[in-house]
Structure 1
Amino acid sequence: MAEHVILFTGPMGAGKTTAIQSLSEIEVVRTEANNSERHVVDKATTTVALDYGEILVGAQEKVRLYGIPGQRRFNFMWAILKRRAKGMILLVNSDAPDPIAELLFYLDEFRELYDRGGVVVGVTRSDVGSGPALTDYSDALERTNPGLVIPVFTVDPRERNQMQNILLTLVINIEMRAAFGSVSGVRSL
């Protein structure tokens, strides 16, 4: 059975743990602790090491889903988790003070995952406040990273179908880039 590793990245509160819970076909491994930065994101707990789940794509391909802690003080875990990843789903919450800056920070921090496979962006929480339009995210990506092909979607991480769509978009993106030779070290997902 082929196995693949996909990383869920983004700031605290963007919905990484929830997205993995929506997708996983096994009980999700979570490393939650009390959130000591409630002034940043008002939620009771936060991921401090990783989240882990699995999903089968077809009969013979297992996708391992890893979620990073969103707080930058846990970036030592980012380095560990991105080593094996073939692609990344980057979630950003639209109602954050500067979601486009967050998007660009995480893309820069995890750029090797684009080079190694692919990236898809999911904009969360767009229903709770007025944030940038999807075109604003796409324009910022094109302005700062010309030529990168990074799909951007509005997504609710609680909705399994939406998360499956974003995961399949990433898989297709990786496979197309591999077929056209624009991915380093990847044959197919």
Structure 2
Amino acid sequence: MGAGKTTAIRAISEIAPITTEAANSDHTECNKEETTVAMDYGEITLATGEKLRLYGTPGQARFQFMWPILATGALGVVILIDNSRPDPLADLELYLDAFRALADGGAAVVGVGRMDRCPQPSLEAYAERLAALDVVVPIVPADVRRRNEVLTMLEILLQQLEATWAYDEAIGDGLSGHGLMGAHP
């Protein structure tokens, strides 16, 4: 909660984002006035002309039941972490656990926000935590208010998808470029 998912979608969406903001009733979790309670939605057009649909999940653990619903059919995931929270590495584990299939399929990026105000834990600490969990995904600092930084995370994600699809085709596993939920051998 408060990592910037809604802000990121607003920063890059070519349509007016659809949001489900409601009054925040949990100021101990995050001291902000509104929070996402169902999902956010936006779109961008890729260079190929295809539309990329963007979904932002609610961040509070009490909405955890929504995460697999919104991840169904997803090509990939950007996990945004607020580095100013009390234990952002624990937050990473919580969200990674929820989206592990996408991460294991090579379709995930971790964006760490507010590093300008809270430089610790470092990106290296995130990499070490991911390595301990046997997960290899890119980790980048991210100011989600900046369109170019959000687009960079999506470009990294799309590069992962292209590499995965090329690998799938090379080993002839029969995937038609869309099956990313399973782990590769």
TM-score (norm 1): 0.87
Structure 1 range deviating more: 150-159 or 66-75:
66-75
1:57 corresponds in structure 2 to 46
1:14 corresponds in structure 2 to 3
Give the unaligned 5+ runs of structure 2. Answer: 181-185
2:31 corresponds in structure 1 to 42
| Rounded Cα–Cα distance in structure 1 between residues aligned with 2:104 and 2:174 | 6
Contact 1:86 1:116 in 2 (8 A): no
Q: Deviations over 1:99-151 (max 9, x none)?
A: 11111111111112224450000000111224211011011101111xx4300
Residue 173 (structure 1) aligned to one of 150, 160, 178: 160
| Rounded Cα–Cα distance in structure 1 between residues aligned with 2:176 and 2:143 | 29
| Rounded Cα–Cα distance in structure 2 between residues aligned with 1:42 and 1:184 | 48
Identity %: 45
SS in 1 for 2:145: coil
What displacement does 1:29 show?
0.2
- Inter-CA distance 33–87: structure 2 relative to 1 (3 Å threshold): same
SS in 1 for 2:37: strand
| Rounded Cα–Cα distance in structure 2 between residues aligned with 1:184 and 1:117 | 17
After the TM superposition, which segments of 4 or more aligned residues of structure 1 sit over 6 Å from their partners?
none
1:89 has 2:75 as partner? no
Which of the pair has the greater relative contact order for Cα pairs under 8 Å at 6+ separation? 1
CA RMSD in angstroms, aligned pairs only: 2.0
Structure 1 range deviating more: 170-179 or 111-120:
111-120
Give the unaligned 5+ runs of structure 1. Answer: 1-11
- Inter-CA distance 169–129: structure 2 relative to 1 (3 Å threshold): same
1:161 has 2:151 as partner? no
1:100 has 2:83 as partner? no
| Rounded Cα–Cα distance in structure 2 between residues aligned with 1:184 and 1:50 | 33
Bigger strand share: 1
What displacement does 1:184 show?
9.7
**How many residues of Structure 1 are paired with residues of Structure 2 in the alignment?**
176
| Rounded Cα–Cα distance in structure 2 between residues aligned with 1:119 and 1:184 | 22
